[in-house]
Every structure is written in C-alpha cells, then in structure tokens.
Amino acid sequence: MMFKVFIDGGEGTTGLRLAQRLKQREDIELLAISSDLRKNVDARLEKIDQADVAFLCLPDAASREVAEAAKDCETKIIDTSTAFRCDPGWAYGFPELGPSYFHAIQESSRIANPGCHATGSIAVLAPLVKAQLIPADGLYTLTSLTGYSGGGKKMIASYENLHDQELDAPRIYALGQQHKHLPEILKYAELEQAPIFLPIVAPYYAGMLVTAGFRMPADLSLAAIRKLYADFFKDQAFITVVQSEEMPKMLGSNTLAGKDSLRIFICGNEERFTVSAQFDNLGKGASGAAIENMNIAMGLDPTTGLEL
C-alpha cells in the first residue's frame, strides 16, 4: 500500500533528513510544494489534507498556527517541535514507555515527537521512578552530550565554517536551567521537580549520551538494576539494555550516529551507579523517532525503513 506524506518545514535539519530517508521507501509518496508557496498557509493545508501523514518541522509558534488551521483535518499529524509534547490532546511519541503510549500513537491523529535530550533523560529516569527505587520528588542531575547538528542550520554552519577556537571544545548551554525539553522530562519521567540539566554541545556532528547518577538502593546490585531496565524495555526493537559482559571501557557520545536505536548502560559499583542512554540525536532523538511513530500510526512494522 502506498502512503502519501507531506513535510511542512522541509528545509530544516529534521525536515531534510525525513525527506532524504522517506524518498528511499517504495511505500511512500512524498507530496511536494513549490518554494514560493512554502509560507502560504492555505497551500500547505491543501497538501496536509491530501496526505495520510503530515510532519510539522516548524518552530513552535508556526506549528501551533498550522495545527489550529488543520484542526478539522483527519490526516495524521506528527509535530517535531516542543509545542504539543505536554498537551493531553496529543499522543506523546515514545512508544517504549508502555502499551498505553503505543496504543495512543496507533489511535491518535495528533502525535508529538519527543525532544532529543528528553528521549535520553526519560529513558534514564522513568524505569527507576516507576519502580519507586528513586523518589519522584528527588533532585537529580542530568548531563547530556550532543553533536552540534541538534542546534539546526545556524549552529551547523558555525561549526563547519571558519569559527572561534571556543567551538573546538565542549560547551555547556541553557545555563539558566530553563531548557525547552525540561517540561516533558518532568511529565513523562513522572518527577515532581525539574532536574538540574546540563546540556553540552561538542564539536562532532551527531550522537548523544545522557547520563544520571544515583545511590544504590539497599539490597540491590548492578545486576538487579540492569534487570529492572531490561524488564522495562523488554521486547523493544529500538532500545537495548547492555549487559555486563558487553560493557565497553568507555562510552562514546557519537557511537550510534546514523542509527535509530538507543542503548542503555548501567555502570558503577555496589554503592553508586550511573545510567546512560546512548543514541543519535538525529535518529531516535528526531527523524528516526518520527518515522517510527509514523509506522506505528499507519499500522506498519515500527522498524520499517529504519536502521537499528
């Protein structure tokens, strides 16, 4: 069966990557719009109405405008901005969080794609909070290393053209603890207070590593914590919990660049441990997750067209 897909905002990093990947699929017909109509809301709405699935790869305000204009449209819309991630009227596109999330993506016509930092942070925190091994009202610190592609076209250009030497080293940003991904981390990790969040952009193109540290709960071990995560993400094609015999000596933040999967690493000792989520900020953190959500929404195998 052939599905018609429209990408609104196809000139941005996520939109371009979506188009590049979907063009390779024989079951997808990409609906094009002329460059002179890319900012014409009526022309874009016509394309959305013609499509089975429409991706909104737009700034928050523009996404809200289009979504409101398309409120009576039956097309399945997947938004990649932060506009609707905490909106109860939209399904949150992280199916690995449980059957209710998967079914909501299947049944909803409005799906909010998670943020890249949020994907890693929630994968790290949610299993422990839901198992009540760490308190929901605890104050946690998350460190998130990312490649510069996550900053969009302007940041990519700043790194890939002549630049100041400061860009040759990792840099912490969002210093005011107001990062736009914090609301969804708070909501879907079921926390009662926002974590201390340290996003770090580094001089490589793609890849992400999100890490948090914890005290070991009484009478538990690293093996027990790994089992907890393995059970939580059981039978999930996109998320793997790495076992002790496979543990590397070092964790790289760009190891899964070009992949759509995510790996969980539990490291440490019997007193304290860390949990890390390793993935591609452009894969499971953006376009890969968007395609996974599209596949689920259209009743396809979630892994169709994706690279694990």
For the beta sheet containing 141-147, the strands, ordered from the edge strand earlier in sequence to the opposite edge, are 171-172, 196-202, 141-147, 208-215, 272-279, 262-268, 239-241
Dihedral sign for Cα 280, 284, 285, 290, please: positive
76-79 and 91-92 beta bridge pairing: unpaired
Question: What b/e sequence results for 163-179 when a residue is b if at least 16 CB atoms lie within 10 Å of its CB, and e otherwise?
Answer: eeeeeeeeeeebeeeeb
Among 49, 50, 87, 85, residue whose Cα is nearest residue 66: 49
Annotation marks residue 116 as catalytic: yes
- Selected catalytic residue, list 57, 73, 86, 116: 116
268: left (phi over 0), alpha (psi -120 to 50) or beta: left
Among 257, 295, 293, 303, residue whose Cα is nearest residue 278: 257
- φ, ψ dihedrals at 273, nearest 5°: -150, 160
Alpha-carbon span 93 to 97, nearest angstrom = 9
Helix (H) or strand (E) holding 28: strand 28-31
Angle at CA 91, nearest 5°, toward 255 and 11? 55
Alpha-carbon span 208 to 210, nearest angstrom = 7
Alpha-carbon span 103 to 142, nearest angstrom = 29
Give catalytic residues, as residue numbers.
Answer: 116
